Amino acid sequence: MRAITEFLYALTDHLPPSLKDRAPLIHIRNRLRHWEILRRTSELVENPQYQKQIESRQFKVVFVSPIYNSFPLLAVSLFDQTYENWELLLVHDGPSCELPEVARSIIESDSRIRMIETEKRANDWGQTPRIKGLEELAKNREADFVVITGSDNFHAPGYIEKMLEPFDDGICVTYCDMVHEYYKWRNFETRLEYSFIDCGCVMARVETALAAGMNDKSYKGDWHYVADLIRQCGTKAFRKVNATLYVHN
């Protein structure tokens, strides 16, 4: 039987744009969509060990991302998360004087977003900004989990909540399936091998991520970060979320 959330969302979808695109109704429709996402994914993890902490939004999740004079799609996707206790640390690759005004307005619209800059542009696949981001995170460890990603990536609304659920006292890293433009935008089942996983579909405990670090500034740096996480805690401390929660753009 169709859930009430799905029915109500479909019902409001037939309203004219002059109504459904107004702020109060947008908020209502987003909440309905969030509830529907959680309903459909409720069976992914049975009895999460940290369910109470997740429900009370006790854990803080930090996203670290490079950005360079571009629209921060990542920030927009985080606004739509079902889990609100997140922080976004954007590291601009060099001075941000040419960052578009619309991008700057989005970044400045939410106190959970912070942007810093590198002294000069590295243009090394975003790895130097990510290194600086982890260094910044190490100065103030007021976070529990971290995701290393990109400003043009999209995390599905339930990403944070569903990536937290598999954690228990023995799990250090979770990862999910993804959609990847390199593979013609089709669903891509990830695995812990080079070219089969992107760092944006990986969530790690902060202490594990800082111990692993970003140690490769090449195109393969994303994979080497995952490989270093494996070296830190072993594959038995990884757990996969069998859902597509991440879009690599």
Model confidence pLDDT, tens digit, residues 208-243 = 999 999 999 999 999 999 999 999 999 999 999 999
Q: Which residue has the tokens 């038995």?
A: 236
Residue 40: what are its φ and ψ, rounded to 5°? -70, -25
The CA radius of gyration of the chain, in Å to the nearest whole number, is: 18
> CATH: 3.10.20.600, 3.40.50.1820, 3.90.550.10, 2.40.50.140. Which one for 49-248?
3.90.550.10
* pLDDT, mean over the chain: 93
pLDDT > 70? residue 72: yes
- pLDDT score for 5: 77
Residues of the chain with CATH 3.90.550.10: 49-248
Whole-model pTM: value is: 0.91
Cα(246)–Cα(149) distance, rounded to whole angstroms? Answer: 10
What are the residue ranges of helices labelled H in the chain? 4-13, 17-20, 23-40, 51-55, 73-79, 101-108, 127-139, 159-164, 206-212, 221-233
Q: Name the least confident of 35-39, 44-48, 185-189.
A: 35-39
